[in-house]
Chain A
Amino acid sequence: MPKVTRWFIKAGILYFIAGVVLALLSEVPGVKAAPLLLPVYWHMLVMGWITQVIMGVSIWMFPRKHRDRKKRESLLTWLAFWFLNTGLILRFLAEPFIPVIQQSTSITVVILLSSILQVLAIVFYIAEIWPRLMQDKKRKRS
């Protein structure tokens, strides 16, 4: 299993645990932050956990275009990992405070940066995986 896959899956497990704990906390009577935490909880599970496991495993299992290439992890996969996780962490740290801290320049910058990082991470991941989606006979010819 390539190193980047291990990082994707371990990061995914951490988000999974955090998401489950968050869901548990939001059920505790008297916790008023539950509606604010809802988007954080959903994105921890869908982007943090499920999507990261899919990305990590596909980078590992999907056949590379050139089988003889020894390098199993491209720059694109690491960029996807760091951009996605930085984007997600910034989002999870800032999003619950948007309604609380109105008109804050720092929150605005962090949220915009998070949005850009997440989109770029997906672009990098697609750029890595898209060329691998080809029929076996075409791969052998290339």
Chain B
Amino acid sequence: MPLPSIWLLRSSLICFLISTIIGALILSSKVITIHPAIWSLLPVHFELAIWGWIIQFVLGTAYWMFPKKLEGERRGNPLVATVMVVLFNAGLILLILSNFTETISLQLSLSGRSLITASILIFAFLIWSRVVTYRNLKH
């Protein structure tokens, strides 16, 4: 398994655990008194579940399992893949932080979404040429 996939998958598992714990606290707060601020974590619960867990897990698995190139770097430039991982997770962190501040919330969420968009574009660039079949290749 390549390193960028390992990082994406490990990060997705961490996001999954945090999101589940927040979700469990929110669910529990419906029947017992927990801190009222727990409900303000609802957007964090969503972002971590959808972007942090599901999408990041799919990115990591696709980067690992899609057909590899026959020539050159088998999965594309590994440095570019590393940049993709860093941008995605930096964007996710900014997006999460935007929920905890009112003064620079908009700037943080815009920056976070921009970094995630850039990361997805890099992913598309890396994976596009690997959406192939070698079944009809003449040896």
Contacts and interface: CB of A to CB of B under 8 A. Distances in A.
B10 interface: yes
B6 A51 contact: no
B17 interface: yes
B31 interface: yes
B2 interface: yes
Interface stretch (B19-27, B109-117, B121-129): B19-27
B16 interface: yes
B104 interface: no
Contact of B23 (A107, A118, A134): A118
B3 A135 contact: yes
B80 interface: no
Interface residues of B, number: 27
B57 A54 contact: yes
Interface in A73-110: 91, 95, 98, 107-108
Contact of B1 (A46, A50, A63, A111): A63
Contacts of B20: 118-119, 122
A13 interface: no
A130 B10 contact: yes
Contacts of A112: 28, 31-32
Given A98-B31, A112-B31, A123 B17 contact: yes
B59 interface: no
Interface in B15-54: 16-17, 20-21, 23-25, 27-28, 30-32, 49-50, 53-54
Given A111-B30, A133-B10, 19 more contacts: A46-B49, A46-B50, A54-B57, A58-B61, A95-B27, A95-B30, A111-B28, A112-B31, A112-B32, A115-B24, A115-B25, A116-B24, A122-B16, A122-B20, A126-B13, A133-B6, A133-B9, A135-B2, A135-B6
24 contacts: A58-B57, A58-B61, A61-B65, A63-B1, A91-B27, A98-B30, A98-B31, A108-B32, A111-B31, A112-B31, A115-B28, A119-B24, A122-B16, A122-B17, A122-B20, A123-B17, A126-B17, A133-B1, A133-B9, A133-B10, A134-B1, A135-B2, A135-B3, A136-B1
